[in-house]
Amino acid sequence: MARFILFALLLLFFYTILYYLIKDMVVRRKKLGREPEPEELVQDPYCQTYIPKRTAVRKRVKGGNYYFCSKECLRKFLEEKKS
């Protein structure tokens, strides 16, 4: 009889672990499936490419903010402005 109780407890123990593992997997899958935050896009005034604001190269010119896809575009844009 004691053996049966031990077995039942062991089974319950495994079921509990399995339950939490599956629950954790489902939660993780839901998090992965969630849509990423919409990222604000800015336009490079030099090459007209749209880039996410987070990764853009920012430059303040006469009070206005300009965003570039690369430092190269920023350099060329400033050169064009000068001439």
Residue ranges in contact with Zn ion by CB under 5 A: 44, 47, 49, 69, 73
8/15 Cα distance (integer angstroms): 10
Q: Which is nearer to Zn ion, 24 or 55 (CB)?
A: 55
Q: Which is nearer to Zn ion, 35 or 48 (CB)?
A: 48
Alpha-helical (H) ranges within 1-83 are: 2-33, 71-82
Q: Which is nearer to Zn ion, 26 or 52 (CB)?
A: 52
Least gap, CB of 83 to Zn ion (angstroms): 18
6/41 Cα distance (integer angstroms): 61
Least gap, CB of 63 to Zn ion (angstroms): 22
Residue 70's contacts (CB-CB under 8 Å, 6 or more residues apart) are 57
Backbone dihedral angles phi then psi of residue 16, each to the nearest 5 degrees: -65, -45
Least gap, CB of 47 to Zn ion (angstroms): 3
